[in-house]
Structure 1
Amino acid sequence: MLDIDWTTEEPAVTAGQLLVVPLRSGHDPEAITQRFGAAVRDAVARVPFAGKPGESFAFTRERDGVIQHVTLMGADALTEPASLRQLAHDAAREAQRVGASQLVLDLHGADGLPAEGDDALRVGNLVAQGVQLGTYVYDRFLSESNRRPSSLRSVTAWGRSAAPTEGSNRGRIVADAIARARDLGNGPPALVTPSYLAQVAADMVAALAAEGHDVKLTVLDADECKARGMGCFLGVGQGSDEPPKFIHLAYSPKGESKARVALIGKGVTFDSGGYSLKPTDGMLDMKLDMCGAAAVIGSFEGAVRLGVPYELHALVAAAENLVSGKAYKLGDVLTASNGKTVEINNTDAEGRLTMADAMVYASKLEPALMIDFATLTGACIIALGPRIAGVMTNDQALHDDWMAAAARSGEDMWRLPLPSNLKEQLKSKVADMRNTGERWGGALTAGLFLSEFTEGIRWMHIDIAGPAMASKAYGVTTPGASGVPVATILELLSGPIQLEQS
């Protein structure tokens, strides 16, 4: 873990140090002259360097007998959470590129950065998240000769106040939770099986309990799930030799709980599509079809360490969706644990089946609200692109709380409707419903399918099919699993939630 501190005094120049100075578009060239000299100003002008995000100008200088690396880094308004987090992330990446062991992030001259109060805590949180995520790499399966250990050991943020220091610890916890989710998503499917997720949950609970937290784990095997009538979940997993696991993590806060909250994550650890078989290109990233599960597991760990004031239940119905003589087939009818029957017209619409039984299980806990997270539909990516999560709920208060948390966290979300007239598409002649509707509006009919299993509990559905996985780096995201929306979940659970539906 990086050593992160804040200071109001210019840090002394030391060997192995990188100084990063953010500059916005329209910056005054004479400010560069005053600080670094006319030669640097003229060199910047020749590049040219406009101060846009992604642009940088690097040089070295000698001060007090020491060579210091300096990078001028383009940045948007640092009052925007995503911009501040990305600046810190990019600065950490640059430090590793030049082999620096210490990063000095110059924020003392940045316009609009707060110095005190809650905003200062937010700044400390976002900067710590950014620099720590800037060191993230999944290298478990790289040989030693191909690993590139991080050179960065410490970060000093030079600001107008040291007040953000208090927020740094929160940022570290959030970044660790995101990294946990990324590691689970990036692991190969032969490693990250339902049994592996259950073991990770067990190890996590043991570690948290040893720290004095009130946490519990329940893992249901196939027979126990059958006894509970989870026919939809078990139908998805029956084609694999890997046994399905239903994982239930529970946490009680030290003080009086404000409410009980259930988080449900899609845990299909590999999705071949079943008999509605995916093509090779569509299957390559399907180890990432459990990113919803990874998000709620990572968020559970972070929420416990942050000491959120809610009783928390994280639920994962983990299974593989494979093809075999035992696999469920097109035309099969499965029965969910609330008694509803589902005709299967697409075995590649499996996530909603596993989530249906998980939602019914969650409802029996009588939570004040439940939120599900799933890489559910390609249709959501078509609607919103690869970087924005779709938010579906008819609960305005819950939506508003979630979107405010997302804005504070710098994660992109957009509301999609749940039009009741589209439920017509889910009608079946042989069962209570089908598991898919028509192609058009597929993200919406998936949400409408899930709405049949809320059992009267306040509910919100987050389709993370786009932002949960990245084909290339952007923002604070590296290729592979992104850890979205862990930061938003933790922000929501750390603040007041409206406990009445509107």
Structure 2
Amino acid sequence: MDFSIKSGHPEKQRSACIIVGVFEPRRLSAAAEQLDAVSEAYLSNIIRRGDIEGKPDQTLLLHNVPNTLCDRVLLIGCGKERDFNEVAYRKALATAAMTVNENGAMDTVNFLPELPVKGHDVYWKVRQAVETTEAALYVFDELKTEKDKARRPLRKMVFSVPSRRDLSAAEQALKDGAAIATGVAVARRLGNLPANICTPTYLAEQATELGKSANKLKVKVLEQSDMETLGMGSLLSVAKGSRQPPKLICMEYRGADNDSKPYVFIGKGITFDSGGISIKPSAAMDEMKFDMCGAASVIGLMHTVTELQLPLNVIGIVPSCENMPDGLANKPGDIVTSMSGQTIEVLNTDAEGRLILCDALTYSERFSPETVVDIATLTGACVVALGSQATGLLGNHRGLNNDLLSAGKSSGDRAWELPLWEEYQEQLKSNFADMANIGGREAGAITAACFLSRFAKKMHWAHLDIAGTAWKHGDEKGATGRPVPLLTQYLLDKVK
């Protein structure tokens, strides 16, 4: 999509379509009022007839509005003005993008960023407009022989801002929003690919290609023999049941001087999770291709970081393998030795994500990181606790946790903090090893983080459980690209 910024009157815009808002009950937005005035009450007369009330999701497409230079005017229902918040704003943007894309207008001027959203400035509104529009128009059809394309798809969108003084902030928002949308799209594509294509080797190839095309980025891929030399017995134990070779992908972006400590992100890359010997039920097992969405989000984030050329040092680490049942696979009761030297009793082979993440956490110590954040589709317990709205957040450093919560709120990619109290560690006791890899039915998301915390004592660390937010089910089945916006906002806040 070609995005640009403009400041001007709606009636003077030469465009295939002008997008303006309507609030409940039948209240024109400021831009719509301008159109109404020059068209001699054309809009208000139609609204008075009841064609549109202004409720969310309502749309009304008008042709040949008098005294305007545009072909069409699209009215978007925005709900009650006093309730027009971040969620309502994004909903209006998504509705507008999808409607215009379907009605044959190949270019449009969007006045929705001029709407007042309490507590948010022009920069925020324009950035959200870019991200939301791209997300709404995203389609994954590369594996279909017949593609359902719009006959005349939307190709160009101009966002209008109230004043020329807003142009500078809006242009920066356009740049940031486009880079974030790129990272989200990369993460969604990787997540949506089937496991027979998106293998650990494929993930490594994608990271390597990014390294070739992006300056300041160096990519290193550790093979099984390298991990054996490092003593990554926990990670390698998960990979034993698969014919796909494991990979540990390390992407180093150097945007600051060598003395600046890097921000490290670790993404769980289980490209298919059968559960191993503790095999999962067959229903919806196809969705276990999404168990690498943490890895996808880290690769997507590195795309965004390189596009923005952030003045930071950022490292993305992806431990990747399959979790399959096989004669060599982990068995319940097996004891493995992690890279840290700590031993783990594998009581459930379906709690495998933490087994690969723990070795990646230990590996990250060599970079003397400023902070470390791991991102993983780790527990069904987190889905039970928080549903699909919020990512679960746990960590050992108050400042890092607060920064991530703030970034989630600002970006709209929200997280919710769960406790990481010492008392929960008791559930990981093992009679035969330093710890068990599960802590029983109670507080499953928390005890999973407790497990990881034992490998993060030397660092400021946070864990994001994205099991509920990484993909959608049902008719909208597919990866979401979360939490790329949250992670990018965290880094943008560090730049500021």
Aligned residues: 483
- Residues 309 and 494 in structure 1, CA contact (< 8 A), matched pair in contact too: no
CA distance in 2 between counterparts of 1:257 and 1:5 reads 38
Instruction: Indicate the residue corresponding to 1:434 in structure 2.
Output: 436
Displaced runs of 4+ in structure 1, greater than 6 A? 29-33, 76-79
CA shift, 1:96, in A, is 1.0
CA distance in 2 between counterparts of 1:157 and 1:129 reads 13
- Residues 260 and 310 in structure 1, CA contact (< 8 A), matched pair in contact too: yes
The 1:323–1:456 alpha-carbon spacing in structure 2 relative to 1, beyond 3 Å, is same
Matched to 1:3, the amino acid is F
CA shift, 1:98, in A, is 1.1
SS of alignment partner, residue 137 of structure 2: coil
Match status 1:24 vs 2:32: no
SS of alignment partner, residue 495 of structure 1: helix
Match status 1:71 vs 2:70: no
Q: Deviations over 1:449-468 (max 9, x none)?
A: 00011141000011000011
Equivalent of 2:93 in 81, 88, 98:
88
Matched to 1:200, the amino acid is Q
CA shift, 1:406, in A, is 0.9
CA distance in 2 between counterparts of 1:277 and 1:153 reads 46
Stretch deviating more after TM superposition (396-405 or 1-10): 1-10
Instruction: Indicate the residue corresponding to 1:484 in structure 2.
Output: 482
Matched to 1:20, the amino acid is I
CA shift, 1:84, in A, is 3.5
CA distance in 2 between counterparts of 1:493 and 1:391 reads 17
CA shift, 1:326, in A, is 1.6
CA shift, 1:131, in A, is 1.9
Stretch deviating more after TM superposition (171-180 or 255-264): 255-264
CA distance in 2 between counterparts of 1:406 and 1:149 reads 37
TM-score normalized by the length of structure 1: 0.90
CA distance in 1 between counterparts of 2:80 and 2:393 reads 26
CA distance in 1 between counterparts of 2:204 and 2:351 reads 24
Matched to 2:100, the amino acid is A
Equivalent of 1:495 in 487, 493, 496:
493
- Residues 6 and 165 in structure 1, CA contact (< 8 A), matched pair in contact too: no
Match status 1:55 vs 2:58: yes
Q: How does 1:216-365 map to 2 (within 5 A)?
A: 216-254=218-256, 258-365=260-367
Percent identity, aligned pairs only? 32
Match status 1:187 vs 2:193: yes
CA shift, 1:7, in A, is 2.2
SS of alignment partner, residue 3 of structure 1: strand
Q: How does 1:127-138 map to 2 (within 5 A)?
A: 127-138=129-140
Stretch deviating more after TM superposition (133-142 or 380-389): 133-142
- Residues 24 and 78 in structure 2, CA contact (< 8 A), matched pair in contact too: yes
TM-score normalized by the length of structure 2: 0.91
SS of alignment partner, residue 143 of structure 2: coil
Instruction: Indicate the residue corresponding to 1:10 in structure 2.
Output: 10
CA distance in 2 between counterparts of 1:38 and 1:454 reads 61
The 1:342–1:483 alpha-carbon spacing in structure 2 relative to 1, beyond 3 Å, is same
Q: Deviations over 1:186-239 (max 9, x none)?
A: 00111100000000000001010xxxx211111011111011011111111111
Matched to 1:493, the amino acid is L
Stretch deviating more after TM superposition (221-230 or 119-128): 119-128
CA distance in 2 between counterparts of 1:182 and 1:437 reads 31
Q: Deviations over 1:71-117 (max 9, x none)?
A: 32325779854444443333211111212201221237623589xxx
Equivalent of 2:46 in 40, 43, 53:
40
CA distance in 1 between counterparts of 2:442 and 2:80 reads 37
Q: Deviations over 1:108-165 (max 9, x none)?
A: 7623589xxx933333222221222232111111114544477111112222124213
CA distance in 2 between counterparts of 1:97 and 1:271 reads 38
What do you get for the CA RMSD once the two structures are aligned? 2.6
The 1:60–1:255 alpha-carbon spacing in structure 2 relative to 1, beyond 3 Å, is farther
CA shift, 1:29, in A, is 6.4
The 1:168–1:255 alpha-carbon spacing in structure 2 relative to 1, beyond 3 Å, is farther
CA distance in 1 between counterparts of 2:151 and 2:449 reads 43
CA distance in 1 between counterparts of 2:448 and 2:333 reads 18
CA distance in 2 between counterparts of 1:373 and 1:149 reads 39
CA distance in 1 between counterparts of 2:219 and 2:72 reads 50
* Structure 1 residue ranges without an equivalent (≥5): none
